[in-house]
Amino acid sequence: MTRTHEHHAVVIVGGGQAGLSMSACLQQAGIGHVVFEKHTALHVWQSRRWDNFCLVTPNWQCDLPGHPYAGDDPHGFMKKDEIVAYLAAFRRKVAPPLREGVAVRLVKPRPQGGYDVQYSVGTDTALRHCTADQVVVASGGYHLPIVPRMAERLPAGLKQLHSEQYRNAAELPPGAVLVVGSGQSGAQIAEDLHLAGRQVVLAVGEAPRCARFYRGRDVVDWLADMGYYEMPVGQHPLREGVRDNTNHYVTGRDGGRDIDLRRFALQGMQLHGALEGVDSAVDGAVTLRFKPGLAAVLDKADAIYNGINASIDQYIERQGIEAPPPSRYEPVWVPPEERTTLDLQAAGIGSVVWCIGFAPDFSWLDAPVFNGRGQPQHERGVTALPGLYFLGLPWLHTWGSGRFSGVARDARHLAEVIAAEQERRGSDGAPAARVARTVASGASGNGSVGPRTPGQ
């Protein structure tokens, strides 16, 4: 019996919520495929979130394909264990053709059409090979934890970890904790440490903030009614530039509330500007240098906070909606004379948590679809190369594209494009020839041609 090489109609790279959403939509369309996941499906939510992590968007926005939130608290915020349970139920429902422990090492276009895919399985470094008519990159955009080179200048005995490694305050050694960055993760981790009674030194970046509740409702509810979450990236004032924006910091903890760094300062948290450098002296003393302008950074975040609320005020007025009266945030704390340096030892800092984000890593994708900054170029996930797509990236199409709220719509769109491309290829005769080879070899199963390999 003749055996052909392994072939798939569609290879999906990544087994997170984006990859499983794509699988659900392709199954509904009757399109064969396989999902390659380097670790285990949905592993990020289990292994790369701190213990008190919770959603910052209300539960009602969780709407994966055929799997909307069905709990009894739609306006609440699922905690880590609840999120994991929600996603585990989604995986069971989708029952994807998933191969875990499969790391894709190279994807490149084939001269005759389609794509070559090289991958390894588990701890075996030997490369394996398959081909695909089409490929969906659903691995997200947060791959490489960013830790700056200045970290090398900190004392060797100082515990340093990235936000994805932080679990709880008790796991950190005694002493104050330097949290670098005040985006969503940095602000929430600083709050987690603060509530646990730890002394926090926060290096504040330029992340914006927003209110949790305003005029009787969650701000997310207002913005949904205003159509913000339906706005495609092409209609946003920043256009594709919005993809580079830092997320507003707010929290769903304890039923949801604002994160007010000024109030934390009143309660003893030390606020400084962004961390600019680390200086080491010959006597072993280490000095942290912070960017000046903390007051201006806090003012800007508050201006954005008030600006969002003002847009809600205008909407309420236009629609004639009865709501509690408007209000404006006024600073509860103003930075005193700013300190731009801090002696590490004198401050008693025993650990550092780097919360400055992640860098994308698409080095395994050998295709001319990236701009000068290494970001994929696409229109709603569809690249200029036939049969190559992205899914699950922030603002891929709308605000919700990288979240539980919008990935389903994007996956359905790509399923339609994939089906059309499959039909076009069929009219060229290529897939028909492959089907003939498959029948001749006697191979079958889950959209693939050829024998099953470990991990399937």
Predicted local distance difference test score (pLDDT) of residue 238: 84
Q: What would the mean pLDDT of 200-228 be, rounded to a whole number?
A: 97
109 has which bridge partners? 115
Q: What would the mean pLDDT of 355-363 be, rounded to a whole number?
A: 94
Predicted local distance difference test score (pLDDT) of residue 404: 95
Predicted local distance difference test score (pLDDT) of residue 183: 95
**pTM for the model:** 0.90
User: Within its chain, how far is the Cα of 7 from the centroid?
Assistant: 30
The conformation of residue 136, written as its DSSP 8-state character, comes to E
The pLDDT confidence band at residue 448, using thresholds 50, 70 and 90, is very low
Task: Assess whether pLDDT exceeds 70 at residue 446.
Answer: no
Is 447 or 364 the better-scoring residue by pLDDT? 364
Say which amino acid occupies 236: H
The conformation of residue 417, written as its DSSP 8-state character, comes to H
pLDDT tens-place string over residues 9-25: 999 999 999 999 999 99
- Token readout for 442 is 């006697």
Q: Return the minimum-mean-pLDDT range out of 242-246, 300-304, 452-456.
A: 452-456
Task: Assess whether pLDDT exceeds 80 at residue 453.
Answer: no
- Token readout for 100 is 């875990």
Tell me how long the chain is. Answer: 456
Please tell me the distance from the alpha carbon of residue 421 to that of residue 53, in angstroms, as a whole number.
Answer: 40
Q: What would the mean pLDDT of 406-419 be, rounded to a whole number?
A: 98
Task: Assess whether pLDDT exceeds 70 at residue 445.
Answer: no
pLDDT tens-place string over residues 64-112: 999 999 999 999 999 999 999 999 999 999 999 999 999 999 999 999 9
Tell me which of 3.30.390.30, 3.30.420.40, 3.50.50.60, 3.50.50.100 is the CATH number of domain 7-143+360-449. 3.50.50.60
Predicted local distance difference test score (pLDDT) of residue 271: 98
Taking CA atoms, 35 is separated from 184, 297, 427, in Å, by 30, 43, 26
Q: Return the minimum-mean-pLDDT range out of 47-56, 194-203, 275-284.
A: 275-284
Q: What would the mean pLDDT of 342-357 be, rounded to a whole number?
A: 97
The pLDDT confidence band at residue 391, using thresholds 50, 70 and 90, is very high
Q: What would the mean pLDDT of 399-404 be, rounded to a whole number?
A: 94
The pLDDT confidence band at residue 428, using thresholds 50, 70 and 90, is low
Closest CA to 5 of 303, 377, 448, 339: 448
Closest CA to 189 of 200, 173, 175: 200
Q: Return the minimum-mean-pLDDT range out of 182-186, 348-352, 450-454.
A: 450-454
Taking CA atoms, 100 is separated from 29, 308, 454, in Å, by 23, 42, 9
Percent with pLDDT over 70 in the chain: 93
Taking CA atoms, 241 is separated from 66, 139, 238, 312, in Å, by 31, 21, 5, 23
The pLDDT confidence band at residue 452, using thresholds 50, 70 and 90, is very low
Q: Return the minimum-mean-pLDDT range out of 141-145, 221-225, 386-390.
A: 141-145
pLDDT tens-place string over residues 226-285: 999 999 999 988 888 888 888 899 999 999 999 999 999 999 999 999 999 999 887 889
User: Within its chain, how far is the Cα of 240 from the centroid?
Assistant: 17
Predicted local distance difference test score (pLDDT) of residue 442: 31
The pLDDT confidence band at residue 427, using thresholds 50, 70 and 90, is low
Predicted local distance difference test score (pLDDT) of residue 281: 83
Q: What would the mean pLDDT of 199-210 be, rounded to a whole number?
A: 97
Is 280 or 309 the better-scoring residue by pLDDT? 309
* Residue spans per domain, the chain: 7-143+360-449, 147-357
Taking CA atoms, 209 is separated from 307, 308, 413, in Å, by 10, 9, 32
Mean confidence (pLDDT) of the chain: 91
The dihedral formed by the CA atoms of 290, 296, 299 and 305, expressed in degrees to the nearest 10: -70
Taking CA atoms, 278 is separated from 178, 183, 390, in Å, by 13, 21, 38
Predicted local distance difference test score (pLDDT) of residue 127: 95
- Token readout for 399 is 């605000």
Please tell me the distance from the alpha carbon of residue 244 to that of residue 297, in angstroms, as a whole number.
Answer: 18
